[in-house]
Amino acid sequence: MITPITTTHIDAAFAAAISTATALGASVARISPSPIATLDPGTTAETISVDRLTFTPHGGVFQVGFRVTAKITIGTYSVTRIHETIPSIRETAWPLNLAELAAAWLPDSIIAGESWVAAQGFWGTRTTDLSFTYLTALQSAGSPAALAVTRPVLASLYNWIMSVRSIAANGRRFFPSAPHSYEDFIVESHA
């Protein structure tokens, strides 16, 4: 069961920042993201920042306002809540299922691994195509060793993708380069 995450402390800091910025009016100044004094249980960081906003509608009067941003970080997952006064008052809320969203968030190393595979020319549909082709060819070949003999480019690319995933799952971020290009895979597939 996932423990719910409360936002009591960050909400209090958010409300205080809005009150202070409202009281300052046109004198409001930028405040860089600053950590709050007491974190809510289950969070790894919580910050508040204030930005001074200016707005002049077409032919209108110059206006000064502000944006207060509250940010919660839970592991590698971050979410923000915003209150801004220009051009009109707008405020966002925290997601109701904050704990579930954080639990489902992928670690940075997994995202880095997927990005590395994509940067090597194997983004979403190409990786899916390669994996489907590998599994189909593996059924015909009977074993990975036999497939490596008949389809060496396919076998080495599939093994490379699996090694990147394994490295990423272990929390590391240094990945080997692709042994072949996607074009090599296409050439081998049509030979």
* Backbone torsions φ then ψ of 56, nearest 5 degrees: -130, 105
Q: Is 171 left (phi over 0), alpha (psi -120 to 50) or beta?
A: left
Which tens digits make up the pLDDT trace of 95-129?
988 888 888 887 888 889 999 999 999 998 999 99
Report whether 68 contacts 85 (CB < 8 A). no
pTM, rounded to two decimals? 0.61
Q: What is the pLDDT of residues 129-156, one digit of tens each?
A: 999 999 999 999 999 999 999 999 999 9
